[in-house]
Structure formats: C-alpha cells, structure tokens
C-alpha cells in the first residue's frame, strides 16, 4: 500500500518510446501521470523508500496511446558515468513494444521458448541492450538443450548442434559469437549494439525455421495431403 498517491497536474514531458503501432521509436507526449510512494523506518534513524510512476503517453506520429509503469527502490542503486549515485528503475510498457526489425515466427516453438523470446524482444525494443544481450544467449542455450545437444557447457552443445547437421560452419561461428558476447553481457555488463542484436536475431530465426517451424509445417502439409488423397480414393 502506498503512503502517498498523487496525480501530477502540470505535464510537459516528451519521451522517445517504441510505438507498437508504428513499430519504431517515436516521440511520445506525456498525457497523464500518477505517482505512488512508500517510506519505512527500519530503525537506527534509517529509512528506505520506493515508488511507482504510472504514465500515459501518446505517440506523436500516429496518436496511439501506451501505458508505462516505472518503479524504483532506495536500496537498488548504481552509479552513472560521472560517479553520481542513481536509483535503478524498472520500466514496463503496455502494449509491449514491437518492431519490424526483430519479428519472430513462433508458430510451432515451445511455449517456454516463446516466453524467453518475448522477454528478449521487449528488452531490445526498450533499448535495454544489456538485458537483451544476455537473453539472446539464453535463447541459444534453450535451443541446444531442448534439442538434446551433448556437452558440459554451451560451447560444446553448440558444436554438437553442428555435429547433428543442424547448422553449417558459418552459422556455427556466429552462434559462438553470440555465446561470447552473451558471456560478456552477463559477466562484464558489455552489451551488443542494436545492429549486432538484430543480426543475432536473424540467426535465431534460421534456427527456429530449421528446428521447429519448418518440420512442423511440413508434417502438417503431408498429413493434410494424405487425408485428402485418402478421401479421394474412397470416392
């Protein structure tokens, strides 16, 4: 429960957000905003505090409206490039941001993989490149594990993916690049840039088509054809 909950009256903020209708980053105007805050005395004169900012934005290109929730907590902080203490914020946008640059065909992929891909796309669309970098590596790891690739680590499992005939040498090298950059993102907080992420997404799309969507579509077409010919023979 919030200790205070206020509606802001004078709004003049503009912000670049990914528009789900335009499918690109556009300037949005803040139309309404409420802020809820909490404070708690934890003893010895210390106080922790946090809050949630609820904002309604309108796209300047198409007038589509989106909702953004931004939360923070006094114990979750970091330093900016100049060494100043800043509070980390967790931002969630609805409808989820989308882009033509990283659309996925997930018609026949496992639901757990779909969820992971959605989180990666959301991070990428929101320019959370460190999170997106790590998530891209996690997608690769999910796929090689789901396809029962042998090996005690991701490097060996990716190599086994080639041994099973699922990828060629060029794709193998690119998957290892994704693995290495994902490791750097997880351990050193070094993010891929947007161009690298979009390139990585294209490689994942090839895997999804080869391992999930293509075989499933082929099986569905063959099944339908067999049924059609069987009916025709009976007639």
Kindly report, residue by residue over 169-227, the tens digit of the pLDDT: 999 999 999 999 999 999 988 999 888 988 898 899 899 999 998 888 888 899 888 88
SS3 of residue 171 by DSSP: helix
What is the pLDDT at residue 102?
63
Evaluate if residue 147 carries a pLDDT over 90.
yes
pLDDT, one tens digit per residue, over 95-144 is 877 666 666 777 888 999 988 988 888 788 777 889 999 999 999 999 99
Q: Name 32's bridge partners.
A: 56
Evaluate if residue 21 carries a pLDDT over 70.
yes
Q: What is the CA radius of gyration of the chain?
A: 23
Distance CA 220, CA 226 (A): 10
Evaluate if residue 234 carries a pLDDT over 70.
no
Phi-psi region of 189 (alpha: psi -120 to 50; beta: other; left: phi over 0): left
Query: Is there a contact between 203 and 155 (Cβ–Cβ < 8 Å)?
Result: no
Q: Copy the structure tokens of residue 174.
A: 């690119």
For residues 224, 111, 131 and 205, what is the CA-based torsion angle, rounded to 10 degrees? -10
The percent of residues in the chain predicted with pLDDT above 90, rounded, is: 55
Query: Is there a contact between 221 and 166 (Cβ–Cβ < 8 Å)?
Result: no
Query: Is there a contact between 140 and 166 (Cβ–Cβ < 8 Å)?
Result: no
Q: Name 26's bridge partners.
A: 17
| Domain 100-235: CATH architecture, name and number where available | Up-down Bundle (1.20)
Q: What is the pTM of this model?
A: 0.63
Q: Copy the structure tokens of residue 128.
A: 């959370």
Q: Where are the domains of the chain?
A: 1-98, 100-235
Distance CA 157, CA 132 (A): 21
Distance CA 195, CA 142 (A): 23
Distance CA 86, CA 178 (A): 30
Q: Copy the structure tokens of residue 64.
A: 């589509």
The percent of residues in the chain predicted with pLDDT above 70, rounded, is: 94
pLDDT, one tens digit per residue, over 32-69 is 999 999 999 888 888 999 999 999 999 999 999 999 99
The owner of tokens 């934005």 is: 57
SS3 of residue 163 by DSSP: helix
* Phi/psi of residue 103, nearest 5 degrees: -80, 145
Q: Copy the structure tokens of residue 226.
A: 């067999």
What is the pLDDT at residue 152?
93
Query: Is there a contact between 93 and 66 (Cβ–Cβ < 8 Å)?
Result: yes
> pLDDT confidence of 4, banded at 50, 70, 90?
very high
């Amino acid at each position: 429960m919030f200790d205070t909950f206020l509606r802001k009256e004078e709004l003049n903020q503009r912000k670049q957000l990914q528009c789900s209708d335009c499918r690109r980053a556009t300037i949005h105007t803040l139309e309404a905003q409420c802020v809820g805050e909490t404070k708690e005395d934890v003893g010895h004169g210390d106080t922790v505090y946090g809050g949630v900012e609820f904002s309604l934005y309108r796209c300047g290109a198409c007038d589509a409206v989106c909702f953004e929730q931004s939360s923070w907590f006094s114990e979750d902080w970091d330093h900016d490039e100049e060494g100043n203490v800043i509070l980390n914020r967790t931002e969630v946008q609805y409808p989820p941001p989308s882009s033509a640059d990283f659309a996925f065909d997930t018609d026949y992929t496992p639901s757990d993989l779909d969820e992971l891909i959605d989180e990666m796309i959301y991070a990428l669309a929101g320019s959370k490149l460190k999170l997106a970098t790590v998530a891209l590596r996690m997608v690769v790891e999910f796929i090689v594990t789901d396809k029962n690739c042998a090996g005690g680590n991701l490097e060996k499992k990716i190599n086994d993916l080639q041994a099973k005939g699922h990828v060629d040498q060029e794709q193998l090298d690119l998957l290892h690049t994704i693995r290495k950059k994902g490791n750097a993102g997880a351990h050193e907080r070094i993010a891929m840039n947007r161009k690298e992420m979009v390139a990585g997404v294209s490689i994942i799309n090839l895997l999804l088509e080869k391992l999930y969507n293509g075989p499933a579509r082929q099986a569905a077409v063959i099944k339908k054809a067999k049924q059609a010919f069987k009916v025709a023979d009976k007639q």
